[in-house]
Amino acid sequence: MVRSLPVARPQELVSLYKTGGWGKGFASYPLYAELANRKDLFQGVLGKAGPVEMKMDASGSAWCEFATGNYFSVLGVKPALGRLLHQDDERGAGSTAAVLSHDFWIRRFGGDPRVIGRTLVIRRWPLTVVGVAAPGFRGVNVDRHADLWAPIGLIGADLVNKPGTHWIWILARRRPELSPNQLQSAVDVLMRQHLQMVYARTNVASFRKFAMAQRLEVRDGGIGFSMLREQFGKSLGVLLAAVALVLLASCINVANLLLARGAARRKEIAMRLSLGATRGRLVRQALAESTLLASSGCVLGALLAVWGQRYVVHFLPQPLGNPFGAGLDGRVLAFSAGISLLSALLFGLAPALRSTAVDPVEGLRSGGRNPGRPVLRRVLVSAQVALSVVLVLLAGLFGSSLAALRSVDLGFRHTNLIALQPAYPNKEARQPFLKALESLPGVVSAATAMPGPFQMGTSSASIRVPGSEKTASEPAEVAVHHVSFRYIETLGAKPLLGRDFQPSDPAGKAAIVNQEFVRQFLPGERQSIGRRLSFEVSKPEGGDPVFIVGVVRNIPHQGFREKIEPVVYWLRDDGDFALVRASVPPAVMLPALRKELARLGPQPAGVEPDIVRQRIDDSIFQDRLLAALSGFFGALALLLAAVGVYGVVAYRTLQRAPEIGLRIALGAERGPLLWLVLRDSLALAAFGLALGLPAAFAAARAARSLVFGVKPGDPWLFACTGLALLAVALAAAFLPARRAAAMDPMAALRQE
């Protein structure tokens, strides 16, 4: 998340990240060209696309990044062999230069210097290797490293020349005299002028407003581009803070137990001091014991981490893979060992100094008993409870958020539903492939669509609805799904009104809409069935009519957190996705579906049948991971709080044994004695709650963008957290309290 790119002066690099509109993060090539001409703002501006995996000759595939000609010069990367891309390579689709990464050169070509001039066929392009990049440089995308770089002109003039097509990432080297704030102000002005020029003539006000909301954010570019960081950075920050709180609570717990142990060894330490031992030697002995504890914990933690990593990877979507690599590396283990030893020194030093600060004569005279009140230990336990409050509240917050996501009405039946996105050899292959799917044993129905369910893809269009006030003056934007006959049936979304598509419905003339469409365009209409809409928006009365034949529930195609849009399911036969409803579990159907894909022709890498239920789970995997890990941390925090409260109350009860024995001898009853000890734990928990609840509220507010359907200040959540901590404190103190109430008074008084 924070590592700088291995380039010259990474602190000068900024990424120009587009927000709003379409293609989050991506910009258009014409916008890149405008920015590249602003020499008053930038020393250099580069653009890139990818990396994307492409077939290379017959030897497999490679990750190719398409870059502008000044890519390497702006970054300040030197060649290890040959030359790098330059501006002449960028011009036109005829450029065939390619630069290999050093890792790819070693891995695929064995470091052979004769690779210069060799021709590589990437997809359909013959590329000539002109150089190898410096060792350690693997591109500016830190999630997926590039194997080779090719000129961006290969992508084609259609993409390069369209100002409304967003596909390029922009990285720039700012002029050193400009601060980031000054640069942001200048880029805002440039962006407004660019958008005004591109979209000023658009006659759809809603579309123009959406387009004009785009903005370029000036961000730190020295750490490169990372979709993972963009998507999961805040979640990782929350988990890192939770781990730190668990570590701090554990250290407080150990320090508290060491303080109690030092007080119990008061007579032993006094004897050692009277026999000539120095205080420094005793402190070193205590620190050695703390280090042994920390080292043992570190070894056990490393073993548990191997299992824990597999557990975490289990939550990640298959396309994401395992971003942690093959296993725990030496750096992670060294960091963990260092933290463990540092914890031992920091939290073992204070107990060591305190336990050795004993007057030998006084220590021997008192028999090792410490007459003072253990104020420090009580404060430490209260602090531990306060930390536990934060962790338990976060666990409840993320758990409630996941429960709210799970309870959302999907609007369709996902059981035994499988999606495919085949690569058709031609348009004519769609219908035969669909019929082949329908004929498979176990298939109930099949249909095509574009986009597919929970594919996170979007397709929108401007429409007019005659008689609707919303489109009386101008067209409106809606999401449009091109679907085939039986799509609604296959999806399992029964019409609320009207009917499903029928074989007699002509393609392009029938549509089914969702509830949000009716709410926005036909409010108060008792009969929306039979109403017409039109995709011809040049005339107020519309063009060729498309008739509404049914209304279905709202389906959160773009994810649970996105606002539900009005959707038109338009009867067409040009969808790229295939959807299959099976009567058997998906695992039984997958082999047959793979065979049909193979019969269709060669498929790109990664094309596999996709279980829709898994796709839905993948869309909320971050919430599932946060709920699982925060729940684990919360349970661990409760356990640590219980151990801390138990340790302090048990030690305090042992110190008060003569007093309790005297009370029993004088006729005290069991109930008041139990309460005498229990109220001590309640006081510790109450003080910890008073400290922890404000901190927990602040933590919940900081994490509010990560939760769904639950308010960070939910009083029930805080009440349950407080009750859980109080219950744990009472449970931890009950054993010492019961032991005290059953104490033999004569044995207790003999301690005096």
Q: Give the CA distances from residue 591 to residues 96, 577, 587, 608, in Å, rounded to whole numbers and listed in that order.
A: 40, 18, 8, 10
pLDDT over threshold 80, residue 319: no
pLDDT digits (tens, 9 = 90+) for 29-45: 889 999 999 999 999 99
Q: Give the pLDDT confidence score for residue 372 in this predicted structure.
A: 46
Confidence of residue 237 (pLDDT cuts 50, 70, 90): confident
C-alpha 370/C-alpha 377 separation (Å) is 13
Percent of the chain with pLDDT over 70: 91
**Strands (DSSP E) along 440-493, which ranges?**
443-450, 460-463, 476-483
C-alpha 684/C-alpha 733 separation (Å) is 11
pLDDT over threshold 80, residue 745: no
What would the mean pLDDT of 338-365 be, rounded to a whole number? 76
The structure's pTM equals 0.77
C-alpha 326/C-alpha 317 separation (Å) is 17
Q: How far is CA 327 from the centre of its chain?
A: 20
Buried b (16+ CB within 10 A) or exposed e, 525-552: eeebbebbbbbebeeeebeeebebbbbb
Q: How far is CA 315 from the centre of its chain?
A: 11
The kind and range of the H/E element at 571 are strand 567-571
What would the mean pLDDT of 51-76 be, rounded to a whole number? 86
pLDDT over threshold 50, residue 123: yes
C-alpha 401/C-alpha 717 separation (Å) is 12
Q: Give the CA distances from residue 157 to residues 30, 220, 389, in Å, rounded to whole numbers and listed in that order.
A: 11, 30, 58
Helices 621-655 and 670-702, packing angle to 10 deg: 150
3-state secondary structure of 308: helix
Omega of the bond prior to 451 within 30 degrees of 0, cis?
A: yes
What would the mean pLDDT of 199-213 be, rounded to a whole number? 76
Q: Give the pLDDT confidence score for residue 323 in this predicted structure.
A: 58
pLDDT over threshold 50, residue 355: yes
Q: Give the pLDDT confidence score for residue 324 in this predicted structure.
A: 56
C-alpha 716/C-alpha 536 separation (Å) is 52
Q: Where are the alpha helices (DSSP H) in 407-472?
A: 430-438
pLDDT digits (tens, 9 = 90+) for 692-740: 999 999 999 888 888 888 888 889 999 999 999 899 888 888 888 887 7
Torsion of CA 227, 231, 236, 238, to 10 degrees: 150
CB 404 within 8 A of CB 580: no
C-alpha 701/C-alpha 710 separation (Å) is 11
Q: Give the pLDDT confidence score for residue 456 in this predicted structure.
A: 63
Which residues have a Cβ under 8 Å from the Cβ of 613 and sit 6 or more positions away? 414, 415, 417, 586
- State both tokens at 408: 């959302």
Maximum Cα–Cα distance across the chain: 105
Buried b (16+ CB within 10 A) or exposed e, 475-510: bbbbbbbbbbbbbbbbbbbebebbebbeeebeeeeb
Phi-psi region of 556 (alpha: psi -120 to 50; beta: other; left: phi over 0): beta
Q: Give the pLDDT confidence score for residue 750 in this predicted structure.
A: 66
DSSP per residue, 614-633: HHHHHHTHHHHHHHHHHHHH
Question: What integer best gives the mean pLDDT of the chain?
Answer: 84
Q: Indicate the burial class of 719 (C-beta count within 10 angstroms; 0-12, 13-18, 19 or more).
A: exposed
Q: Give the pLDDT confidence score for residue 551 in this predicted structure.
A: 93
For residues 459 and 150, the model is more confident at: 150
CB 533 within 8 A of CB 548: yes
C-alpha 566/C-alpha 544 separation (Å) is 20
CB 374 within 8 A of CB 263: yes
pLDDT over threshold 70, residue 422: yes
Most confident of 9-18, 221-230, 253-262, 337-346: 9-18
Q: Beta partners for 480? A: 568
Q: Give the pLDDT confidence score for residue 540 in this predicted structure.
A: 60
Q: Give the pLDDT confidence score for residue 556 in this predicted structure.
A: 87
pLDDT digits (tens, 9 = 90+) for 578-592: 899 999 998 899 899
Rg of the chain taking only CA atoms, in angstroms = 34
For residues 282 and 607, the model is more confident at: 282
**Strands (DSSP E) along 32-111, which ranges?**
42-55, 61-67, 79-82, 97-100
What would the mean pLDDT of 169-194 be, rounded to a whole number? 92
What would the mean pLDDT of 73-96 be, rounded to a whole number? 84
Percent of the chain with pLDDT over 90: 30
